[in-house]
Structure 1
């Protein structure tokens, strides 16, 4: 399974939190990351998105074929995010478009075995895979891409 954690791009300040829209910079960054992702994604792909406006706009840069999942809203916990993705047994790839600190905490858990307050830049992706090697389950970090480098 491939799991791609995509933090929403730069968004306006405001209230209520779930209605905040992407800034012009955020829209550009979402497009850059989507352009990088498109040729690399497998055909068997699911895209799960937080209902927050900024997450929806980020996902729109990639596709209109996604599932809005309320359990991915700001404040979601790591276990809920991983369960929504079907980690580690889902077939193909799953993209989760969501929020900090949840996505970075999920990456920390998958890579180190413990939730930790790692930082994940706005608009960036962390692409992880799982495999079994010599009878041992492993999580592989395949890519970390920040829009500033595209």
Structure 2
């Protein structure tokens, strides 16, 4: 299985009503989401399941991909790494999963599946952390870690 973690792009510092889930992307965030989304559209497997947090900034980020997606409550800001791993179906699902979510949760997901324990790993805004689990040894590996500034240089 492939687990692709995509942190939402840069968002406004606070929603006018104080609702963290209502925070929208900044202009820079929209540009980064578009750049990374276009690259992911070319790179993701056709059968990839796309799951996103219900937070506005995550939905805006995933819309830049241009594919169908599912809003999953278990990916929200008040979730846990364990709930996100379960929602993605790691490691047993046959289909790859792209998860659009938040820090520190995505960093905790990456550290949990790669090292077996939750740690404070950081993923940049609009960054992608791609993990693959293949073979009979049962050991996952890092396929790619990239931020929006390097996406244009990848072919």
Establish whether TM, by shorter chain, passes 0.5.
Answer: yes
Gaps of 5+ in 1: none
Q: Is the 8 A contact 2:7 2:125 kept in 1?
A: yes
Gaps of 5+ in 2: none
Distance 2:40 2:134 in 1: 21
Q: Does 2:82 match 1:79?
A: yes
Q: Which residue of 1 aligns with 2:11?
A: 11
Q: CA deviation at 1:140?
A: 1.2
Q: Is the 8 A contact 1:75 1:102 kept in 2?
A: no
Q: CA deviation at 1:24?
A: 0.3
Kindly tell me the number of residue pairs found equivalent between the two proteins: 148
Question: 1:72-111 to 2 correspondence within 5 Å?
Answer: 72-111=75-114
TM-score, scaled to structure 2: 0.92
Cα shift readout 1:26-49 (whole Å, capped 9, x = no counterpart): 000011111211121111111011
Distance 2:66 2:104 in 1: 24
Query: Which residue of the other structure, out of 48, 51, 54, is the alignment partner of 1:48?
Result: 51
TM-score, scaled to structure 1: 0.95
Moved over 6 A (4+): none
